Amino acid sequence: MSFDIDVTVRLGEAVVGAVVPDDGQDSGLTVLFGPSGVGKSSVLNMVAGLLRPAAGHVRVGGVTLFDAAAGIDVPVPVRRCGYVFQEPRLFPHRRVAANLRYGMGRGAPPIGYDDMVALLGLKDLLHRWPATLSGGEAKRVAIGRALLSGARFLLMDEPLASLDRARREEVMATIERLRDALRLPILYVTHDAAEAERLATRIVAM
């Protein structure tokens, strides 16, 4: 299930856009790479349906989510994308287990709850409150919640931002396990060249 994206949108005086051609692969991690301010996060928002493109199309795995010419704009919940933001955005009044289960029931997830907990190493965190988690732990919980929402694909917006070196390594190893074990298409934003080279199965420069 690969990405096929060709979108543009006007944001104030700037025109933001990107072309991610279908590479024919069933899965992998596609990195949108470039400096801050070029519109990488805006492209993620257009794929998610949070920002409507002015022109172009968005297809994932051959399924059209947006096509300006054809008048197609699939509602956000129906797109079934898991979105991991720069900040974990966990519910502070819910323990980790409740945060993880929040999105369940919106579609068949690519991995079951117990398998996800094992894959992401979350067993010892399930009864903790978000405020007690390290940055890396919170990010792993956010990734798990996105998976359990019934995601067909993942969007990741600078998920290593604001983490120290040890936590970056922790989360990067988690993303590598997701990429290799689940074979779930991932569209990933970063401005870090080393991060892109390590994680990407292909890199799209912006």
Name the residue type at position 190.
T
| Mean predicted confidence (pLDDT) in 133-137 | 94
Give exposure, 138-173, as e/b (b: 16+ Cβ within 10 Å).
Answer: bbbbbbbbbbbbbbbbbbbbbbbbebeeebbebbbe
Mean per-residue pLDDT, 138-160? 93
Residue 11 pLDDT grade (very low, low, confident, very high; cuts 50, 70, 90): confident
Chain centre distance of CA 130: 20
DSSP assignments along 56-111, one per residue: EEEEETTEEEEETTTTEE--HHHH-EEEE-SS----TTS-HHHHHHTTTTSS--SS
Using pLDDT thresholds of 50, 70 and 90, give the confidence band for residue 1.
low
Amino acid letter, residue 95:
R
pLDDT band for position 192 (cuts 50, 70, 90): very high
Beta pairing partners, 83: 155
pLDDT score of 186 more than 90: yes
Average pLDDT over residues 45-52: 96
Overall domain count for the chain: 1
State the CATH number of the domain containing residue 37: 3.40.50.300
Task: pLDDT band for 183, please (50, 70, 90 cuts).
Answer: confident
188: region left, alpha or beta (phi > 0 left; psi from -120 to 50 alpha): beta
Question: Which residues constitute the domain of residue 33?
Answer: 3-205
HSE toward the beta carbon, residue 95, CA cutoff 13 A: 8
Higher-scoring residue by pLDDT: 12, 102: 102
Across the strands, what pairs with 20? 5
Closest CA to 146 of 65, 94, 81: 81
